Structure 1
Amino acid sequence: MDSGIRAIVDAVEEARRQLRENALPKARDSSREKVPEKEEAALMGALAGLMEAFVELARAASDRMAPGDSSEAYIKVVRRLRDQPRFLREDAAAIEKRVGAAE
């Protein structure tokens, strides 16, 4: 792969590995205390940022694919995912509002 795709695939695989090795064990650790409400929005915002990166990557990839089915597949991914970051940011804002109102 000399089109630069190898670097993209490697970066995505590294991100996935980091999430699985570092974040998921902490999320699954049932012996830890519950997440304080004021920290919930930070996690939701981080998920929104990650989803935004997915959408940006799919959009950029669609521009580089040969015309036809491959390009259309990436465009479909963008359509399916593009609203998710906004929903996550709205959820984060709702959490912040709820926590702020409780203080």
Structure 2
Amino acid sequence: MDSGVRAMVEAVDEARRQLRENALPKARETGRERIPEAEEAALLRALAGLVEAVVELTDAVSDRTTTLDSGTVYLKAGRRLRDQARYLRDDERNVAARVEAAGAAKTT
């Protein structure tokens, strides 16, 4: 395996491992309180950033593939993931606006 490809695969595998070992157990813990609304936007922001990083990777490798079909697969995947990142960013803004409005209502 090309050393550049190996580094990409290892980085993606490490990100997946970190999520599974560190984030998922916290998310799945029973008896934990609900996520405070003020923190929901931060989690959406982090998820959007993660998806955006994957989009950057798919974009970067799409023109390095050997076959046209493979390049097209990466481009399509990148487009779909870009849409999902945009949805997460939109949701992040909506949650942040809702929290801000609720905070403003409490102070009046």
Question: For the superposition of Structure 1 and Structure 2, which TM-score range results when normalised by the shorter chain?
Answer: over 0.9
The residue that corresponds to 1:83 in the other structure is: 83
Residue 41, structure 1, aligned to residue 41, structure 2: yes
Task: After TM superposition, list the pairs within 5 Å mapping 1:1-103 onto structure 2.
Answer: 1-103=1-103
Question: Which deviates the most, 71-80 or 32-41?
Answer: 71-80
Runs of 4+ in 1 over 2 A off after TM superposition: none
Q: Structure 2 unaligned runs (5+)?
A: 104-108
Write the distance in 1 (CA, Å) between the matches of 2:74 and 2:62: 5
1:76 is displaced (CA, Å) by: 1.2
Q: What's the Cα RMSD here?
A: 1.1
Q: Which has the larger radius of gyration?
A: 2
Query: Identity of aligned pairs, percent?
Result: 63
Supply the AA of the counterpart residue of 1:72: T
**Under a length normalisation based on structure 2, what TM-score does the superposition of the two structures give?**
0.90
1:3 is displaced (CA, Å) by: 4.7
